[in-house]
Chain A
Amino acid sequence: MEQHLQDLYEVLSKVDGYVYPNEIELNWSILIVLYPYITGLVAGAFILASLERIFKVHILKPTYGIALLTAFSFMLVATMPLISHLGKPFRAYEIMITPHSSSAMAIFGFVYLWYLMVVLLLEIWFDYRRDMIIWAQETTGVKRFLYRVLSLWTTDISPKAVALDNRIGYIVTVIGIPSAFLLHGYVGFIFGSIKANPWWSTVLMPVIFLFSAIVSGIALVMLIYILLTKVRKLKIDMECLDTIAKYLFYILIIDFVLEGLDQIHRIYEAEESFEVLHKLVFGKLFFTLFFMQGLFGTILPLLTLGTFQFYKPKEKIRKIIYLAISALILIGVFFMRWNVVIGGQLFSKSFYGYTSFKTGMIGSEGYLMAAVWLIVPFIILSFLLWLLPPWKKKEELPETQGL
């Protein structure tokens, strides 16, 4: 058979029913799944850090620094999946040079920049400035030079200056919370505002994205914290872990309820798109939605964490379960993004047909590329933890504690 016709056959074998020609191929692939996922981890980790700082949950102290650095390392990578998805990545900066107010992506560029520069960078700087100056005196060589540069060659660590740092850091965090909400709400908005797509277009989308983001961010910090203490062969602060788990539980409930509400709303409204979505959910999304996102990512963690509120097994077992739960939640939220992004493109906007999704291992849109952008933040994080170890911070003077 002719190659040409074979290609055509292969393409058409991907579709069921009636699909518009431009819907056969999925344009938003695995990398676009990663983008809301990674941004969500940033927002979530930051919210956990601010729990300690603003809401004065001091039990969470051991995770404060880790959470901040985690948020920062993931933030640095957050736009990379988007950029590597572009056909002409080197023109990506143009969105910032001539932005148009009607472009949701252009405005995202500025929201991102605001959050990276004004919130995360400043908070970390004010938090570490005193320590960097002290460490610069204690170390030599390249490390010393790095500390000098990073602290901008400042030397003032008088109680007054440190108190000022703390106050400004506090203000930055206060601004940071709405900013974190904005950052991730915005990602949800980008999907929720696409009115031609009934799977995306709901006003709840930003809120759902936000809460699943917080869930995933907290789970990530929990995971990193457990692994880090294991690597450093320290005894884990069980009280801190239990508190994280408690907050994780609360927010997971909210997230679950919101997502359930969204679905119930859809089912009850039963708009003209309902039938196609119903078939989608029970067909191509069945496994990723009901098993990966629903059962493993939500119900199982919810039940376990819920049980722990009444009955706590031995610490050793609890630790292992926490590790497993946080991993499950991370996978679950990943598949939540998957179901939104990929699911929204699997059905035809004519509501009469479906296409299917295949991605290869290699290529600029393959799984390997996606894996790279998931691993790079951990490399950055290890570097940051080496450079700015939160556990080596000198205890602050009592009178400057917690402003």
Chain B
Amino acid sequence: MPQHLKRLIGVFAVFIILFLILHYLLTPSSFGELGHYRAKAIPENAFKELHYAGSEQCSKCHEDIRKDKAIGFHAKLKCEVCHGPGLKHALYAGQFKAGQLPDSLLLYKPAERKDCAICHQFNAARLKIQFDTINTSMIHQINAIEHNPFDKITKVEFKCIECHNPHQP
């Protein structure tokens, strides 16, 4: 074989070996143990910090609100959908008296117009009309700009919750 072909094959061999070495070094150690993915990804995700408590936890202390909510239109909404993740709150709020919760344990109270509009603002893509019947899984839409924006006399902006009880709209 001529000298230049040998060199060329040598260069290619170096490239291939380099690729194999990189392949070996870069493949995650637990890859392929359980399937075409990193087996360690499962415990990694399992040990991630928890943020949500679940509505059952909330009703332990806020049974009144759960009862209110259960008969209203928002019955199917979980508390943390509106109030945000509340695990810390659920674990530690019990140690404080009413009105004395430290800031770090306070939850968000979605009282602004925009908060309700996240779900109720008119959006053609979210219409769901089933056989013309009222279905509680279908979100009623309003145009937040036109739907009772402010008091006609005082011209002060209305909040949605001034007319609708958020827990029992």
On A, residues with C-beta under 8 Å from B are: 1-2, 4-5, 8, 12, 15, 17-21, 24, 93-94, 97-98, 100, 117, 125, 129, 151-154, 156, 160-161, 164-165, 168, 353
Contact = CB atoms under 8 A, between A and B. Distances in A.
Contacts of B3: 154, 156
Interface string B2-43: 111101100110010000001100111001000010000000
A156 B2 contact: yes
Given A4-B117, A15-B124, A97 B4 contact: no
Contacts of B117: 2, 4-5, 8
Contacts of B145: 1, 5
B36 A100 contact: yes
Interface of B: 2-5, 7-8, 11-12, 15, 22-23, 26-28, 31, 36, 112-114, 117-118, 121-127, 144-145
B98 to A, nearest CB: 31
A353 B124 contact: yes
A161 B2 contact: yes
A21 B126 CA distance: 8
B2 A15 contact: no
B113 A18 contact: no
A161 B2 CA distance: 7
A153 B22 CA distance: 27
Most buried by B among A4, A18, A117: A4
Nearest to B32: A98
B15 A2 contact: no
Dominant secondary structure at the B interface: helix
Given A97-B22, A98-B27, A98-B36, A129 B4 contact: yes
Given A5-B117, A97-B26, A98-B36, A17 B124 contact: yes
A21 B3 CA distance: 63
Nearest to A126: B8
Given A2-B114, A98-B31, 5 more contacts: A5-B145, A17-B124, A18-B125, A97-B26, A165-B4
A154 B4 CA distance: 6
B26 A20 contact: no
A161 B125 contact: no
Given A93-B26, A153-B7, A156-B2, A12 B124 contact: yes
B125 A24 contact: yes
20 contacts: A2-B112, A5-B114, A8-B117, A12-B124, A18-B124, A21-B125, A21-B126, A24-B125, A93-B26, A97-B27, A98-B27, A98-B31, A98-B36, A129-B4, A151-B4, A152-B4, A152-B7, A152-B11, A161-B2, A168-B5
The interface centre, meaning the residue of A5, A100, A129, A168 with most chain B CB atoms within 10 A of its CB, is: A5
Q: Which of B36, B118, B125 has the most CB of A within 10 A?
A: B125
A165 B7 CA distance: 13
A357 B4 CA distance: 53
Nearest to A3: B114
Contact of B124 (A19, A100, A151, A161): A19
A356 to B, nearest CB: 14
A162 to B, nearest CB: 10
B125 A2 contact: no
